[in-house]
Amino acid sequence: MTTLEISLPPALEAAWQQAQLQGLGYAGGVSPTQAWQLVQQGLAVLVDVRSAEELKFVGHVPGSVHVPWATGTALTRNPRFVRELESRLAAHGGKEAVALLLCRSGKRSVLAAQAAAAAGFTQVFNVLEGFEGEIDATQHRGGSDGWRFHHLPWVQD
pLDDT tens sequence for the chain (157 residues): 444 455 788 889 999 999 999 999 999 999 999 999 999 999 999 999 999 999 999 999 999 999 999 988 788 999 999 999 999 999 999 999 999 999 999 999 999 999 999 999 999 999 999 999 988 888 888 887 999 999 999 999 8
* Spatial separation of the C-alpha atoms in residues 94 and 73, rounded to whole Å: 29
* Spatial separation of the C-alpha atoms in residues 61 and 113, rounded to whole Å: 19
* Spatial separation of the C-alpha atoms in residues 14 and 29, rounded to whole Å: 9
Distances (CA, A) of 82 to 5, 28, 74, 85, 151: 22, 18, 20, 5, 30
* Spatial separation of the C-alpha atoms in residues 104 and 124, rounded to whole Å: 17
Contact at 8 Å (CB) between 123 and 114? no
User: For residue 136, what pLDDT is reported?
Assistant: 82
pTM for the predicted model, two decimal places: 0.92
User: For residue 43, what pLDDT is reported?
Assistant: 95
DSSP letter assigned to residue 48: E
User: For residue 3, what pLDDT is reported?
Assistant: 46
Question: What is the three-state SS of 76-134?
Answer: EECCCHHHHHHHHHHHHCHHHCCEEEECCCCCHHHHHHHHHHHCCCCCEEEECCCCCCC
User: For residue 1, what pLDDT is reported?
Assistant: 42
User: For residue 6, what pLDDT is reported?
Assistant: 57
